Amino acid sequence: MGTISLPIWFVVIAAILAAIGLTDRLLMPGVRWFFRRRANKAIELLNTKLSLKIQPFKLTKRQGLIDALMFDPEVIKAVEDEAEESGTPRQVVLDKARDYANEVVPAFSHYTYFRIGTRLARKLSQMLYRVRLGNSNDDALAGIDPNSTVVFVMNHRSNMDYVLVTYMAATSSALSYAVGEWARVWALQSLIRAMGAYFVRRYSTGNALYRKVLARYVHMSTMAGVTQAVFPEGGLSKDGKLKPPKFGLLSYMIGGFDPKGERDVVFVPVGLNYDRVLEDRVLTSSASAKEGEKPRFKFNPGVLMGFLGRSIVQAFKGKWFRYGYACVSFGKPVSMRQYLAKNKLDFRSMKPKKLHSEMEKLGGQLMDEVGRAVPALPTSLVASVLLSDEMKPMSFFEVKTKVFNLINQFEEAGVYVHVPRDDHDYLVEVGLRMLTLRHLVLVAGDSYRVSPKERDLVAYYANGIAHQMKRISGVEKTPVSDGVAKTSPGSIKQAVAQSK
């Protein structure tokens, strides 16, 4: 028998590969089982503490969800239809659909969500704002069937909305958000997917295949009981007012809803408001720019660094204030079973045109409930009062009197007003401080008036409760300028005057 000589480097590589193979086949299954068992126990313990439990669908491996989506009959039909219409080979269209599924489907990690995400959300929210809960509506929320799919429907004031609501809902459930393409950047998108969010292309009207993949994922997750949070407005409000709702995600969730099915779908209106919105200048600048004109406000790294530097210096001097109050308030839940029974409707048997019409009605009702839940905060109240007669300087006493009267009207109408420290005087002080520190309101002795240069921004905060002003005044708002601010000072003046 001959002798075979092998180079030492070859023997070392072969030994390493053999060790890796043995480890993968013999040791790794046991290690994976051990960690999976610990993870399952952690999830079981977590579910005992959450009022809205994490559903198995949310914990399914991402690849499993993608495969389930690709074998969905409606997705397969959409693939075949596009292949036939475009003349593209079916396998090419199928690969495109899989790319869309990879783009949409999240990779939820309970550890990332509760140990990293919610803790960061809490620290960031508390660092920037004094976070408060408005109407908690505990009795109505407690009456929701635990087997229902709960969808939180919210107004969209700031990108902080995601952070704030994640923090506020951390003890109740793990929320699944629809996030725009802006977040599809390296590292950030992995974190967002691990938080259970799914990406949505904002402009996808002409892409039927993509919309079908997205629609089936949203429908599957809804029917599986995944707790979700949606912004019906579809984007941030640029003028501060509530925007008309869009119906894409809503129709995906309940387009084929069976009122006799296993799960009800319950929409919970959530109203958000801030004393200061971080993106306010960007938004108002974008809204006031004429067609084809670039926004007046441009991102400048030097300005950002200067702002951060001043904030740090102010913090060391004890002169840095958080950005006022951020408040979350819950409205009256809307059960789909009850809604359909009351209106004698069945979405499954409707023609597309009729279905779209009914979705508009439902979306309008949900948005109205969201509007009712939006809380009134110091900055919005003071801004509304100052705009009621913006050409005339007001003394502190006049501002305080009008704010007090406005609060009384709101409370009589059932609007939640956050009164810091239960002190109405302090509420006015907070509102004026937030506006004067930023030079949105000018001070001369004991009088205050809106800065002409910053009227758009002051109106932005007044518009945050413009729909509530409309409720208590019963007067329609009319445009008064070519700028971003479309809230009529006349209507605000009438609402304030009625309380004298």
Residues 460-477: pLDDT tens digits?
999 999 999 988 875 433
Bigger pLDDT: 454 vs 292: 454
Q: Percent of the chain having pLDDT more than 70?
A: 83
pLDDT above 90 coverage of the chain, percent: 53
One domain, residues 142 and 214:
yes
pLDDT at 292: 54
CATH number, residue 266: 3.40.1130.10
Are 158 and 246 part of one and the same domain? yes
Query: How does residue 43 score in pLDDT terms, banded at 50, 70 and 90?
Result: low
pLDDT given for residue 291 in this prediction: 55
Give yes or no for residue 45 having a pLDDT over 80.
no
State the average pLDDT over residues 405-422: 94
Average pLDDT over every residue of 311-322: 71
Question: Whole-number mean pLDDT of the chain?
Answer: 84
476 occurs within a structural domain: yes
String of DSSP letters for 364-431: HHHHHHHHHHPPB-HHHHHHHHHHTTTTS-EEHHHHHHHHHHHHHHHHHTT--B--GGG-HHHHHHHH
Q: Is residue 464 within 8 Å of 240, Cβ to Cβ?
A: yes
411 and 358 in a common domain = no
User: For residue 39, is pLDDT > 70?
Assistant: no
Question: What distance in Å separates the CA atoms of residue 434 and residue 277, rounded to the nearest whole number?
Answer: 11
Q: How far apart are CA 247 and CA 357, in angstroms?
A: 10
- Which tens digits make up the pLDDT trace of 101-137? 999 999 998 888 988 899 999 999 998 999 999 998 8
If asked whether residues 180 and 267 sit together in one domain, one would say yes
What are the CA-CA distances from residue 119 to residues 109, 125, 166 (Å)?
A: 14, 10, 10
Q: Between 51 and 420, name the one with better pLDDT.
A: 420
Q: Which candidate, 489, 492, 486, places its Cα nearest to that of 469?
A: 492
pLDDT band at 21 (very low <50, low <70, confident <90, very high): confident
Chain centre to alpha carbon of residue 273: 12
Shared-domain flag, residues 456 and 348: no
The first and second tokens of residue 334, run together, are 């809307």
285 occurs within a structural domain: no
Specify the pLDDT at position 500.
Answer: 37
As a whole number of angstroms, the distance between CA 167 and CA 176 comes to 13
Domain assignment of residue 25, yes or no: no
Arithmetic mean of pLDDT, 174-191: 81
Choose one of 373, 406, 433: the last residue of a domain: 373
Residue 157 has pLDDT above 50, yes or no: yes
User: Is the Cβ–Cβ distance between 108 and 194 less than 8 Å?
Assistant: yes
pLDDT at 473: 75
Handedness of CA 364, 369, 374, 376 (dihedral sign): positive
In the beta sheet, which residues pair with residue 198?
Answer: 178
DSSP 259: T
Dist CA 127 CA 311 (whole Å) = 12
Whether residues 369 and 461 share a domain: the answer is: no
Distance (Å, whole) CA 62 – CA 42: 19
Query: pLDDT of 193-247, one tens digit each?
Result: 889 899 888 777 778 999 999 999 999 999 999 999 999 998 899 999 999 998 8
Q: Is residue 226 part of a domain?
A: yes
In angstroms, rounded to a whole number, what is the distance separating the alpha carbons of residues 248 and 280? 27
pLDDT at residue 492, as a whole number: 35
In this structure, the answer to whether residues 413 and 264 fall within a common structural domain is: no
Domain span at 409: 378-497
Is residue 291 in some structural domain?
no
Compute the distance between CA of residue 104 and CA of residue 66 in angstroms, rounded to an integer: 9
Give the pLDDT score at 480: 32
Q: Which two tokens stand for residue 491?
A: 């209507």
In the predicted structure, residue 325 carries a pLDDT above the cut 90:
yes
In a domain, 369, yes or no: yes
The more confident residue out of 312 and 83 is 83
Structural domain contains residue 248: yes
Per-residue confidence (pLDDT) for residue 110, from 0 to 100: 83
Decide if pLDDT at 481 tops 50: no
Question: What is the structure's pLDDT at 263?
Answer: 92
Quote the number of domains for the chain: 2
Q: Which residues contact 496 (CB under 8 A, 6 or more apart)?
A: 384, 385, 388, 402, 405, 406
User: What token pair was written down for 473?
Assistant: 């005044």
Alpha-carbon distance 179 to 181, whole Å?
Answer: 7
Residues contacting residue 360 through CB under 8 Å, at least 6 positions apart: 247
CB 97 within 8 A of CB 75: yes
pLDDT mean over 323-341: 94
φ and ψ of 255, to 5 deg: -55, -35
Residues 406 and 369 occupy one common structural domain: no
| 350 shares a domain with 264 | yes
Do 344 and 478 lie in a common domain?
no
pLDDT at 493: 39
What was the pLDDT predicted at 398?
95
Residue 286 lies in a domain: no
Predicted confidence band of residue 84 (pLDDT cuts 50, 70, 90): very high
- Is pLDDT above 70 for 389? yes
Per the structure block, which two tokens stand in for 269? Answer: 């209106």
Cα–Cα distance for residue pair 149/137, rounded to 1 Å = 18
Q: Do 452 and 342 fall into the same domain?
A: no
Is the domain of 332 the same as that of 431?
no
pLDDT for 5 = 75
Torsion (CA) 39, 225, 162, 61 in degrees, nearest 10: 40
CATH number at residue 432: 1.10.10
Which are the contacts of 303, defined by CB distance < 8 A and separation ≥ 6?
Answer: none
Residue 48 to residue 190: CA distance in whole angstroms? 28
**Res 482: pLDDT:** 32
C-alpha distance from residue 261 to each of 135, 341, 351 (Å): 31, 14, 21
> What pLDDT score does 266 carry?
95
Which tens digits make up the pLDDT trace of 259-312?
888 899 999 999 999 999 998 998 998 876 555 555 544 545 565 566 667 767
> Is a pLDDT exceeding 50 seen at residue 63?
yes
- Final residue of a structural domain among 331, 346, 373: 373
H or E element, residue 208:
helix 208-223
Range with the lowest mean pLDDT among 245-259, 309-323, 425-439? 309-323
Distance in angstroms (rounded) separating the CA atoms of residues 113 and 175: 9
- The predicted model scores a pTM of 0.83
| pLDDT value at residue 42 | 57
Structural contact between residues 236 and 159, judged by C-beta atoms closer than 8 angstroms: yes
Phi, psi of 280 (to 5 degrees): -55, -45
